[in-house]
Amino acid sequence: MRIEVLLDLKTRLGESPVWDVEQQRLYWADSLDGRIFSCTAAGREIKAWDVRQKIGSFALRNSGNGAVVALQHGIHTLDFDSGELQLIVNPEVDKPNNRLNDGKVDKQGRFIFGSMDMLEAEASGSLYRLDADFSLHKLADKIIVSNAPCWSPDGGTFYFADTWTGEIWAWDYDIATGDLANRRTFCRVDRSNGGAADGATVDSEGGLWNALVYDGKLVRYTPDGKVDRIIEMPVKKVTSVMFGGENLDVLYVTSMAQPPLPRFPEDNQLRGSLFALHGLGVKGVPEQRFAG
């Protein structure tokens, strides 16, 4: 296994890596600076878009050259050609201390995303589903920091973390309707060194890979929730993970250069880098595009 520093961009809060199999390009965001980046598998041909708000996550669209983006003040469409943003819906206009956060697309092309309290203290966040017709549905509430949404390879199990609970949860996921049922604890996260569950993805064997932010580790859990593998990263503030590359066998890892709140630790010179891990012996699952 080899850890490569793919790009040292010093993203303040690198997040939401998305590998697009159609273009063979990686996309990711700087949540605090409000930018989306894109590059080739080798870290070349960098592009960037300024979304002018804090961004929690995004999903590439089937229609047109653009994305749906979860910004601080609602879900928008982003046109990559013009840079134009258009508001779809702001589900939390009455919660000025919240912002939208992590999100992913299910097998039917629906965008599942959550919100968070920006002080990471109050359980004021929720989990939502945006359908292809832009209709919005609340799936869960009383969440502090929404993170780690992803699905089992067959799409029938949905994983999600409220970061500071110390748990990653699993639900039965109705692929036809996008509804959740039977929430249970998938695994308990080792928080003994100050770490917490951040972004996650699932490999083709059903293993869940989670970034243990502030502890500098990537943890792979087996489908039954047992710790299978731990990888020590060169920085403490790893934030999210995504398989990509031509064979979906490279694990891309984002990190943050600046902690979002003063109580969180600083890091070394590689903080904010985008990493690529080679030789893990497993492959990822192709990410879907938003159907709308």
* Position 290 in a domain: no
75-90 b/e (C-beta count within 10 Å ≥ 16 → b):
bbbbebeeeebeebeb
263 pLDDT higher than 80? no
pTM equals: 0.97
In a domain, 47, yes or no: yes
| Distance in angstroms (rounded) separating the CA atoms of residues 26 and 45 | 11
Residue 98 annotated as binding site = no
Per the prediction, the chain carries an average pLDDT of: 97
Q: What is the pLDDT of residue 157?
A: 98
CATH of the domain at 103: 2.120.10.30
Tell me phi and psi for residue 126, to 5 degrees: -140, 170
Strand order from edge to edge, sheet including 2-7: 2-7, 274-278, 250-255, 238-244
Q: How confident is the model at residue 10 (pLDDT cuts 50, 70, 90)?
A: very high
One-letter amino acid at 169 equals W
The answer to whether residue 284 sits within a structural domain is no
Classify residue 141: in a domain, yes or no: yes
Confidence class of residue 56 from pLDDT cuts 50, 70 and 90?
A: very high
Rounded-to-5 percentages of helix, strand, coil across the chain: 0, 55, 45
Mean of pLDDT values over 220-229? 98
215: in domain? yes
In a domain, 288, yes or no: no
Active site residues: 198
147 is in an annotated binding site: yes
Burial-class residue 195 by CB neighbours within 10 Å (0-12, 13-18, 19+): buried
**Whole domain around residue 147: which residue ranges?**
2-278
Q: What is the pLDDT of residue 245?
A: 98
Q: Is 99 annotated as a binding residue?
A: yes
Residue 113 is assigned to a structural domain of this protein: yes
Question: Residue 265 pLDDT > 80, yes or no?
Answer: no
Q: How many domains does the chain have?
A: 1
How long, in residues, is the chain?
292
Summarize pLDDT for 232-246 with one digit per residue, the tens: 999 999 999 999 999
Q: What is the DSSP string of 270-289?
A: TTT-EEEEE--S--B-PPPP
In-domain check, residue 291: no
List, for residues 147-193, the tens digit of each pLDDT value.
999 999 999 999 999 999 999 999 999 999 999 999 999 999 999 99
